A and B are shown apart, each in its own frame.
Chain A
């Protein structure tokens, strides 16, 4: 079943001209068509200004498409009437954890979403405890967010979204401001959500290593989806990706270079273990 159906979605930002000049339109998303199914883990890649964050905001109905059709679990984001359903269905986590935590206590912040939805008091309590346990932050329920690390704060933000019982969770560069440890914590939480709870995940990122975890990778450039497929398929296109301002994951890059040097390494290797196996089999066959 499809949760998100985007059909030729367009969106432009209005840029006010300086000194009374006429405002201009800056197209951010152009005729983007993309479907995301229940339980899928989709990563969206693209350099700065490729429209990937705009796409995320369109899904959450924070922006509405200027042309085309965007449905989130059957509701069109164009009208006002389903806006709260859409925002509850498609929970969103932003880049800077500091600027999305509302309350001074972790559990109060997680309760913010369900409180807004008018969930009964007793149920909020249960949802908060469950959401915090899911992201492994149960022990910090009564802490002040100020004293948590970046990764912990971001996991609190994810819990805040989970407590609203969404069907899809959209993460807009959730690890961009984190250190490597925080990044690992957040990604582990996200991937556990997807694998164990069956949560649909849309991960927007510019780290190739993160995209490797996804079922499907969509590469965006100038507001359109230019390439998509499994990570293995997408990362076969090294030269094209470089042209779009992106890199290959480190391991894939090493594989490609080894192949250039004449070693028969198969292209599209994504993980260290795969690479180790491949190299061992090449050594053994010699």
Chain B
């Protein structure tokens, strides 16, 4: 069974090789920029920057757009809300209780481009970074919050174990389904409620086995001297390379441009 975890798209590009922390910072800046800017010139500028970044990843752009499919409903819903319910002075169409204003349409365009770029932009991170590297970066970023009780190491460990067990559990689902089907279970026909009910004999054994696995894994980890974050070292230490500093410079210029746009337009 070929399971791609997350949506990592392997390619040999500048963006792929960047330190995951730098990419995480980049995406954070990008999102902040999206919510800072509200002029169309600003959106156009961000869109161009995003386009350049996508070009640099060497990932086919169609992969970036895939994330949008799940959000089509939300996009349509927000634009409808904005079109119909924004109060404004420039009335374009007005009949019965519906009034469509120019401000409404502009607002809708703003919201949709903001959301679209948010999804597409963050997929640049997830498409070019393996889940493990992403986990390491998140552990690093949460590090300073350990003092106030944020279990950074534990969160990262849980994420990586979850990633490790996704394919194992998928395989298990497949096995249980076949076993139940061999005994006459029917997962495909019937209405929504009947289908949901037919999942019970699938989920119960799955949960039981997941708990058993968790128990065995915990014992195995203890046997290998795991005791949380105490006195732990790492085989792979993240280090900033020259290309990471280059990327940081680009981000600095980008942020400065956003601030200028905000002030002057």
Central interface residue in B219, B223, B233, by most chain A CB within 10 Å: B223
Q: Which residue of B lies closest to A119 (CB)?
A: B233
Asked if B168 is at the interface (CB within 8 A of a chain A CB), the reply is: yes
Note all chain B residues with C-beta closer than 8 A to A91: 223-224
Q: What is the chain A residue whose CB lies nearest that of B170?
A: A146
Query: Among residues 194 to 231 in chain B, which have CB atoms less than 8 Å away from a CB atom of chain A?
Result: 213, 216-217, 219-227, 231
Q: Which of B84-92, B108-116, B157-165 contacts A (4 or more CB under 8 A)?
A: B157-165
Q: Does A102 sit within 8 A of B, measured CB to CB? A: yes
Cβ-closest chain A residue relative to B163: A104
Q: Give A145's nearest chain B residue, CB to CB.
A: B164
User: What DSSP secondary structure best describes chain A's contact surface?
Assistant: helix
Quick check: A103 and B164 within 8 Å, CB to CB?
A: yes
B74 to chain A, nearest CB (A): 31
Q: How far apart sit A96 and B215, CA to CA, in the bound complex (Å)?
A: 12
Is B67 close to A, CB under 8 A? Answer: no
A114 to B29, CA, bound (A): 37
Cβ of A88: which chain B residues have Cβ within 8 Å of it?
A: 225
CA A102 – CA B221 in complex, angstroms? Answer: 8
Q: Of A96, A105, A161, which one neighbours B224 at CB under 8 angstroms?
A: A161
User: A20-28, A121-129, A233-241, A250-258: which lies at the B interface?
Assistant: A121-129
Q: Are B222 and A111 in contact (CB under 8 A)?
A: no
Partner of A146, one of B168, B220, B221, B232: B168
| Residue contact B224 to A87, C-beta cutoff 8 Å | yes
Is B167 close to A, CB under 8 A? yes
Q: How many positions in chain A have a CB within 8 Å of any CB in the partner chain?
A: 39
Given contacts A105-B132, A121-B237, A125-B235, contact A116 B224 (CB under 8 A): yes
Closest chain B residue to A170 by CB distance?
Answer: B223
A115 engages B232 (CB within 8 Å):
yes
Q: Is B98 interfacial (CB-CB < 8 Å)?
A: no
Docked-complex contact B224 and A118, CB < 8 angstroms: no
B151 sits at the interface (CB 8 A): no
Contact with A along B132-166 (1 / 0, CB 8 A): 10000000000000000000000000001101100
> Residue on A with the closest CB to B161?
A102
Q: Which residues 93-133 of A sit at the B interface, judged by CB distance below 8 A?
A: 94, 96, 98-105, 107-108, 111-121, 124-125, 128
16 CB contacts below 8 A, A to B, read: A62-B219, A88-B225, A92-B223, A99-B213, A99-B216, A99-B220, A100-B217, A102-B221, A104-B160, A104-B163, A104-B164, A108-B132, A112-B221, A115-B235, A118-B231, A160-B224
Extra 8 A-B pairs, beta carbons < 8 Å, given A91-B224, A102-B160: A94-B220, A96-B216, A102-B161, A102-B164, A103-B164, A121-B237, A124-B234, A146-B167
